[in-house]
Chains A and B, each alone.
Chain A
Amino acid sequence: MSSQAIVELKGVNKSYGENHVVKDLNLTINEGEFLSVLGPSGCGKTTTLRMIAGFEQQTSGTILVEGEPVEDKEPFERNVNTVFQSYALFPHMTVYENVAFGLKMKRVARNAIKERVQEALTLVQLEGFEKRLPLQLSGGQKQRVAIARAIINQPRVLLLDEPLGALDLKLRKQMQLELKRLQKRLGITFVYVTHDQEEALTMSDRIAVMHEGILDQLDTPNRIYDFPATRFVADFIGESNIFDGLAEPQEGGTISVVTETGRVLCRGTSGFTAGEQVQLSVRPEKLRFAPEPKEGFELQGTVRENIFVGTFIKSILLLSNGQEVALTSLSGQPIPEVDACCYLFWEPEDAVILHAHSQEVWSTIANVDLSDFTPEASA
């Protein structure tokens, strides 16, 4: 992947009075990538996007677009375009006039405008809609016009603020694929703000997970799913069983963790000291039933429910300390009956171990741009 930085945020903070919305954000967006900014509402993701677009001024820090600081540039001077959450189509203009707006502002010749508007409308499959007013369009069509309008100026970066939020599920799925295809075809960098983890996982090259104004993790969808950096990420993306406990590093690179319900095992990286409070995140599909106690595991649960979900069965288990955990197994595999007591385990490398205070630790670590470190360099 070409990794020329096109947008860089360096130590960016944004406060509204007492309200610290974005905290020390360091984020490098590479040219041509599809980067999602993912987080629950109020995590600062939209504010971040608006700062890149120029609608909000950061309280401190620097934002670079194409290597140049943009603090002093007004939105109309920035080479980025935005697709707004509510589409923000000009209601008094036809589809054609809406799409042509950006070119008219740049005083492009009339013939060229006509050609490029046609091109853009073809790209979003809206030929023949030129004379309609936004009022006469469906949600999906409005969305397409908004996209055509935003890409007409051929921006280097397209900012999308939950663009599919108002569409129904089926249309949203379809638009996801179309957007991804469009991005590949145009080669424009997409910065895509969403609160929908599934959307982020399916579309993105990389995901930036934000939580309470802090960038928790920036990585590929795969790695974010398999190696969540914080408890929040583990919980927010996909489903996770979280176990609290104390670390006891063992010989041979494994760590035994003493939880309320007994010992469990995981593969440990360095950096965990004996007696340290840790959390383990285990995906439901990694948790397994064992016919007899597994070595290193003292984990037992009672089956509360077995739910048939098509290709797999989801079992809800109650641990002795009252915690509920989820376990999924493929349909057709033998599973214990409801109310049966059974042993549980996982392969040590399938559990992700986290510092219990990882939130604080990571907010300081995040100030160092980790994306520059490769495994080879640190080895």
Chain B
Amino acid sequence: MASRSAPTSLRKRIRRKTPLLTMVSPVTVWMVILIAVPLAYVLLISFCSTDESHHIVFAFSVQNYVKLFDPTLLSIYGNSLLIAGLSCLISILVGYPFATIMANSSPFKRTLMMAFLMLPFWTNSLIRLYGWRSILGSNGFINSVLQELGLITQPLELLYNHFAVVLGMVYVLLPFMVLPIYTVILKLDHSLLEAASDLGARPARRFFKVTLPLTSSGIFAGSIMVFIPALGYFFVSNLMGGGTTQLIGNVIARQFKEAFNWPFGAALSIILILITLILVRAYTKTGGKMDDLGAM
């Protein structure tokens, strides 16, 4: 009996789902062309190699993945993780208070602060980083002012070091930290804070016992969105670090642009994607919502 009704029900199901499919399929096609196919290609060539004239040779090998454990590369990973971690930490320390103040302000002030946060985004980040160079450079704003005031005789070396790279990262990525935290603080039930006060918690303890744990998902979401790009934003380390700082992103960029070793660059990219996936998985495992990550 079940087998007899199966064909009709299948036809019915197709008919019922057809409108839905026509609505969804353009997006699906788009995503497949723009995301799935390139990613599959990256994965594919990461298992290939190149000949002398840098052409990709489609023969399966894992040599690119073995090469990932090269000692010089390992130190670059370490460095990159350090820079990204530091950028993340500073973004939290700056972004959390900012998000708190923004969430507790009047709607007008909120809009104003949001504008200050978002307006720079309408300018290309390269141009904005050049702005920082002109502030930090040896003939830049800070050095000239300090020299005018007679506080220093030699210009300070503010650019071309880790500090400058971290500053650039924080500057470019701060909104990605502020927005998720802001969203969580805004959703925080105010009566919970009142309950904590009511039960005798002073402001500092209330913050660490109630506010912080309940907004940690925002911090985690923001950290993912700062940490991952900070591993890869090679242009920041190029402009602000001037070649003194090597990130994973720099290595990948060099494989594609200078060394023409696309397969090795692809293997590095796959590793970066894996790190991202692991972090996102950890985030959702601890109760984070994917929607909050896509808040931007």
A81 touching B198 in the complex, CB below 8 Å, given contacts A86-B189, A88-B189, A88-B192: yes
For residue B57, give the distance in angstroms from its CB to the closest CB of chain A.
Answer: 54
Contact A102 B197, beta carbon cutoff 8 Å: no
Residue count of chain A within 8 Å CB distance of chain B: 24
Contact A76 B200, beta carbon cutoff 8 Å: yes
Q: Which residues of A contact B197 (CB under 8 A)?
A: 54-55, 74-76
B243 at the interface (CB under 8 A from A): no
Interface centre among A80, A81, A82, A105 (most CB of B within 10 A): A105
A55 touching B199 in the complex, CB below 8 Å, given contacts A88-B189, A90-B210, A92-B213: no
B195 at the interface (CB under 8 A from A): yes
Contact A55 B200, beta carbon cutoff 8 Å: no
B194 at the interface (CB under 8 A from A): yes
Query: Which of A54, A80, A82, A92 has a CB less than 8 Å from the CB of B214?
Result: A92
Q: Which residues of A contact B200 (CB under 8 A)?
A: 76, 102, 105-106, 153
Q: Nearest chain-B residue to A101 (Cβ)?
A: B199
Contact A101 B214, beta carbon cutoff 8 Å: no
B142 at the interface (CB under 8 A from A): no
In the docked arrangement, what's the CA distance between A53 and B201, Å?
A: 14
B17 at the interface (CB under 8 A from A): no
Query: Which of A90, A105, A106 has a CB less than 8 Å from the CB of B192?
Result: A90
User: Which of chain A's residues 60-87 have a Cβ closer than 8 Å to chain B?
Assistant: 74-76, 80-82, 84-86
A149 at the interface (CB under 8 A from B): yes
Q: Residue-by-residue, is B212-240 near A (CB-CB < 8 Å gives 1, otherwise 0)?
A: 01100000000000000000000000000
B156 at the interface (CB under 8 A from A): no
Q: Nearest chain-B residue to A55 (Cβ)?
A: B194
A91 at the interface (CB under 8 A from B): yes
For residue A166, give the distance in angstroms from its CB to the closest CB of chain B.
Answer: 13
Q: Which residues of B contact A81 (CB under 8 A)?
A: 198-199
Contact A75 B192, beta carbon cutoff 8 Å: no
Q: Which residues of A contact B210 (CB under 8 A)?
A: 90
In the docked arrangement, what's the CA distance between A101 and B196, Å?
A: 8
Interface centre among B196, B198, B202, B209 (most CB of A within 10 A): B198
For residue B120, give the distance in angstroms from its CB to the closest CB of chain A.
Answer: 35
Q: Which residues of A contact B205 (CB under 8 A)?
A: 105
Q: Which residues of B contact A88 (CB under 8 A)?
A: 189, 191-192, 194-195
Interface centre among B189, B191, B194, B199 (most CB of A within 10 A): B199
Q: Which residues of B contact A92 (CB under 8 A)?
A: 213-214
Q: Nearest chain-A residue to B209 (Cβ)?
A: A101
In the docked arrangement, what's the CA distance between A179 and B205, Å?
A: 31
Contact B198 A90, beta carbon cutoff 8 Å: no
Q: Nearest chain-B residue to A85 (Cβ)?
A: B191
In the docked arrangement, what's the CA distance between A89 and B198, Å?
A: 12
In the docked arrangement, what's the CA distance between A272 and B192, Å?
A: 52
In the docked arrangement, what's the CA distance between A69 and B210, Å?
A: 29
For residue B195, give the distance in angstroms from its CB to the closest CB of chain A.
Answer: 4
Q: Which residues of A contact B195 (CB under 8 A)?
A: 82, 84, 88-90, 149
Contact B191 A149, beta carbon cutoff 8 Å: no
In the docked arrangement, what's the CA distance between A80 and B194, Å?
A: 13
Q: Nearest chain-B residue to A146 (Cβ)?
A: B195
In the docked arrangement, what's the CA distance between A101 and B198, Å?
A: 11
In the docked arrangement, what's the CA distance between A89 and B199, Å?
A: 12
Q: Which residues of B contact A150 (CB under 8 A)?
A: 198-199
Q: Nearest chain-A residue to B192 (Cβ)?
A: A88
In the docked arrangement, what's the CA distance between A153 and B195, Å?
A: 13
Q: Which residues of B contact A86 (CB under 8 A)?
A: 189, 191
Q: Which residues of B contact A80 (CB under 8 A)?
A: 198
Interface centre among B201, B202, B214 (most CB of A within 10 A): B201
Contact A105 B199, beta carbon cutoff 8 Å: yes
Q: Which residues of A contact B191 (CB under 8 A)?
A: 84-86, 88
Query: Which of B189, B198, B214 has a CB less than 8 Å from the CB of A75?
Result: B198
In the docked arrangement, what's the CA distance between A75 and B193, Å?
A: 11
Q: Which residues of A contact B202 (CB under 8 A)?
A: 76, 105
Q: Which residues of A contact B201 (CB under 8 A)?
A: 76, 101, 105
For residue A149, give the distance in angstroms from its CB to the closest CB of chain B.
Answer: 7
Interface centre among A74, A92, A153 (most CB of B within 10 A): A92
Q: Nearest chain-B residue to A79 (Cβ)?
A: B200
Interface centre among A74, A81, A86, A101 (most CB of B within 10 A): A101
In the docked arrangement, what's the CA distance between A85 and B195, Å?
A: 11
Q: Which residues of A contact B213 (CB under 8 A)?
A: 92
In the docked arrangement, what's the CA distance between A35 and B143, Å?
A: 70
For residue A287, give the distance in angstroms from its CB to the closest CB of chain B.
Answer: 45
For residue B73, give the distance in angstroms from its CB to the closest CB of chain A.
Answer: 40
Contact B214 A53, beta carbon cutoff 8 Å: no
For residue B209, give the distance in angstroms from its CB to the closest CB of chain A.
Answer: 8
Q: Which residues of B contact A82 (CB under 8 A)?
A: 194-195, 198
Contact B192 A102, beta carbon cutoff 8 Å: no
For residue B260, give the distance in angstroms from its CB to the closest CB of chain A.
Answer: 52
For residue B185, give the distance in angstroms from its CB to the closest CB of chain A.
Answer: 15
For residue A72, give the distance in angstroms from its CB to the closest CB of chain B.
Answer: 15
User: Which of chain A's residues 80-124 have a Cβ closer than 8 Å to chain B?
Assistant: 80-82, 84-86, 88-92, 101-102, 105-106
In the docked arrangement, what's the CA distance between A102 and B206, Å?
A: 11
Q: Given contact pairs A76-B200, A82-B195, A88-B195, enumerate 17 new A-B contacts (beta carbons under 8 Å).
A: A53-B198, A55-B194, A55-B197, A74-B197, A75-B194, A76-B201, A76-B202, A81-B198, A81-B199, A82-B194, A86-B191, A90-B210, A91-B192, A92-B213, A106-B200, A149-B195, A150-B199
Q: Which 7 A-B pairs have the closest CB atoms?
A: A105-B200, A102-B199, A75-B197, A88-B191, A88-B195, A82-B198, A105-B201
Question: Can you list 30 residue pairs at the A/B interface with Cβ under 8 Å?
Answer: A53-B198, A55-B194, A75-B197, A75-B198, A76-B197, A76-B198, A76-B200, A76-B201, A80-B198, A81-B198, A81-B199, A82-B194, A84-B191, A84-B194, A84-B195, A86-B189, A88-B194, A90-B196, A90-B210, A91-B214, A92-B213, A92-B214, A101-B209, A102-B199, A102-B200, A105-B200, A105-B202, A105-B205, A150-B198, A153-B200
